[in-house]
Structure 1
């Protein structure tokens, strides 16, 4: 074997130095990553570590996979294609890892809301006749677009019937839009407790419309009939003409009620991202609109909140008979759905 020359030694020394610098830079970036993002990336990695190669292949998609990005729906899984890993096909430790990821990514309020929606679907499964579409906590899917990272953009998708979370993580940024939040039954009993996963949204909306003056209410109410979602699944990139009451006319107490209502959606994601989003919405409150369509009763009317960076729709559904027991809602940002401002997509 030929003895190493001074040239070879110099090359080796250079390679070692470069490797050390790369490692230092990687550590610097990880250290610089905001704490929530680092925790989310770590929770995602912990989940991936529980999977075999086949499962990793099923759960992972390219970040620029446009087809998967928009493959979400309100419908039962037998009526709409879902890809990723089905919760019912996972082992107990794998399911626990998914729920830990959601608990890390969402706020306490948001996590409880999501768990409540999933549990309501389990109630629906037990109440449904033989031959009905598959419902229940097994029928939800998890997928990733891109590789979980504390610094590079990637997405978490979690959803099934009445739930579609599209969460983009891009460095310090966390984006929850577009997401569909729905429930049936909207009220049920679990372990002796009454659960209303979307109860606060329902009650706060009525409180807001009742707090309006007669003149404000005339502007806000569009009619006596309920409407359905305008920008639900399959309507990415579409626009709505603002209608109703311009919220620049609200007094301080009314604005507080409006922001508390908005926070039921913007506050689903972890607190750092939720605070940033709500502050962004506050900055545009003078150019935001509130519209109501239907009777002045809790859970029986459509309402919409629309501003430059937010569209929230709430729409009771007639399927099932009692409209107060079946609710659909959407949370969008017309400027930043799928985190396009931060992810460069």
Structure 2
């Protein structure tokens, strides 16, 4: 990350902002809104490649593929909307906070519509959340067969967990018959309190194993050496909305300093949001707290 951030700053110094600029550093905005940083459209080809290389340091190959498909879907969505809003796949911004020098505190974000990846570093310690991936359209079809489904594992495994829950436990899993309009954490720096679902340890083994698989989809977006450790015995699972695939639906997985959310709640059921967050540690809350504790004089 340090090497790729240095390369990007060398090509495009304007992507840099102070690390202390918390108003810009501690934020997530997955809607088409103004955001800090420099748009890919305002970078030359070398600068755009450097931005993509920086993004690739935070995502395993399959998740990087998901992210690049999400960028391309802006062109598909723009066509579906009759080109009224002028969406384009270069309307994603990259920003580096602070100096990516050895031993320094710094961070970076790659963000635009339906994509937000934030990394915060203190020396070699990496704090790797929030990570948001969305898709509109969620799927593109040809004669009943999917052509593009970038969030297929997140969707399919969520349903698999629900389907494996015994009928007698459904009332403790499905907390609301209506799906929320968006993920509960939303585009906010601070995650609000969210009611947990059924404890994972109370699920039968088939559902418990599928829940582990579902969580792995989100954790495995990140390289193994920066993915957060999770107490799988402390997880819970909740569902909101329809329990049939023809209705709007939402799920979440929670644990100590962990929140995974998924929603597919637009009218056409073809528009999804997913996020991996750590309510106490997003935007470097963990590594910066350790930094302050270890160096109280600074």
TM-score range, shorter chain: 0.7 to 0.9
* Selected match of 1:332 from 260, 263, 277: 277
* 1:36-51 matches, cutoff 5 A: 40-51=1-12
* Selected match of 1:322 from 237, 247, 268: 268
- 1:30 aligns to what? none
* 1:29-178 matches, cutoff 5 A: 40-51=1-12, 56=13, 58-76=14-32, 80-132=33-85, 134-178=86-130
Distance 1:333 1:194, change over 3 A: same
Q: List gaps (5 residues or longer) in structure 2.
A: 293-298
Structure 1 residue 107 displacement after superposition: 1.0
Q: Give the 3-state SS of the residue equivalent to 1:144 in structure 2.
A: strand
Q: Give the whole-Å Cα distance in 1 for the aligned partners of 2:93 and 2:187.
A: 16
For the Cα contact (< 8 Å) 2:26–2:283, is it kept in 1? no
Deviations 1:23-52 (A, max 9, x none): xxxxxxxxxxxxxxxxx211111222223x
Aligned pairs, how many?
Answer: 286
For the Cα contact (< 8 Å) 2:120–2:126, is it kept in 1? yes
For the Cα contact (< 8 Å) 1:124–1:136, is it kept in 2? no
- 2:286 aligns to what? 341
For the Cα contact (< 8 Å) 1:109–1:267, is it kept in 2? no
Deviations 1:95-119 (A, max 9, x none): 1111112122211122111112111
- 1:26 aligns to what? none
Q: Give the whole-Å Cα distance in 1 for the aligned partners of 2:58 and 2:184.
A: 28
- 1:232 aligns to what? 186
Q: List gaps (5 residues or longer) in structure 1.
A: 1-39
Q: Give the whole-Å Cα distance in 2 for the aligned partners of 1:170 and 1:260.
A: 31
- 2:176 aligns to what? 223
Structure 2 residue 250 is matched with structure 1 residue 302: yes
Structure 2 residue 264 is matched with structure 1 residue 312: no
- 1:11 aligns to what? none
CA RMSD of aligned residues (A): 2.2
Distance 1:231 1:335, change over 3 A: same
The normalised TM-score by structure 2 is 0.88
For the Cα contact (< 8 Å) 1:71–1:81, is it kept in 2? no
Deviations 1:191-218 (A, max 9, x none): x982211111000000111111222222
Q: Give the whole-Å Cα distance in 2 for the aligned partners of 1:131 and 1:114.
A: 24
For the Cα contact (< 8 Å) 1:71–1:82, is it kept in 2? no
Q: Give the whole-Å Cα distance in 2 for the aligned partners of 1:176 and 1:295.
A: 32
Structure 1 residue 260 displacement after superposition: 1.7
Higher strand share: 2
For the Cα contact (< 8 Å) 1:303–1:314, is it kept in 2? yes
Q: Give the 3-state SS of the residue equivalent to 2:57 in structure 1.
A: helix
Q: Give the 3-state SS of the residue equivalent to 2:215 in structure 1.
A: helix
Structure 1 residue 310 displacement after superposition: 0.6
For the Cα contact (< 8 Å) 1:120–1:186, is it kept in 2? no
Structure 1 residue 329 displacement after superposition: 2.3
Structure 1 residue 71 displacement after superposition: 4.2
- 2:233 aligns to what? 286
Q: Give the 3-state SS of the residue equivalent to 2:36 in structure 1.
A: coil
Higher helix share: 1
Q: Give the whole-Å Cα distance in 2 for the aligned partners of 1:74 and 1:337.
A: 16
For the Cα contact (< 8 Å) 1:180–1:232, is it kept in 2? no
